[in-house]
Homo-oligomer: A and B are copies of this chain.
């Protein structure tokens, strides 16, 4: 499948067959992944490949026990990683200056570009993936379980395996909702109404609002799925992780 076709067919896969991912295939996917652009060709990221049932079970609570964490044959945890680079510098009579927030962001960008390459490479080979946003929520637990040293912070995780489901493609806002020409054009109340109209009229979301006993779809996000109190709790935790891992 070509690149754009692969992207247009993307859906998150949450149910996997028992078929393992062949080592040679995983290797080819990772080799393609690391061709992604990287700041100054420093490659300040690491990928932790977890296939052990026991380790996946230990990781599951950090990912709020989403069933695909244990069900998928492979978990890939993508980490911002200055540990390897710092060690290299120190062995080469060079004093690294990467114990700061900018360096974390640089390394996180590196890790995320590789992650998306890996996902597309996997999908082009018939595998399915799902990103786990929980990685940044519970980074400290993941650090302990995966034994990540100073200078390493997990930024995202994907589940990987052969799909046992073909879910519907998910909707997207019209392209004009997210693209601005020349400079940013802020949204009028009428723009917002128009850009979200199609989404709000979808049967699946209207049911979602009812199921959650809310008046609007937006309230399902603010009051149920991504609540201020949770966001504040996990913000403090993540900032603490950055400090502990040597990035603040």
Contacts and interface: CB of A to CB of B under 8 A. Distances in A.
A131 interface: yes
Contact of A116 (B108, B112, B183): B112
Give the interface residue-count category, chain A.
Answer: 35 or more
A192 B96 CA distance: 15
A219 interface: yes
A33 B189 CA distance: 26
Contacts of A179: 30, 46-49
Contacts of A7: 32-33, 35-36, 117, 120-121
Contacts of A51: 181-182
A48 B183 contact: yes
A101 B103 CA distance: 16
Among A156, A171, A178, A196, the one with the most B-chain Cβ atoms within 10 Å of its Cβ is: A178
A62 interface: no
A69 interface: no
How many copies of this chain does the complex contain? 2
A64 B137 CA distance: 35
A213 interface: no
A206 interface: no
Interface in A71-85: 79, 81, 83-85
B116 A36 contact: yes
A164 interface: no
19 contacts: A30-B175, A34-B172, A41-B171, A43-B172, A46-B178, A46-B179, A92-B217, A97-B232, A98-B226, A100-B228, A105-B108, A105-B136, A106-B133, A109-B136, A116-B116, A116-B117, A146-B183, A148-B184, A149-B184
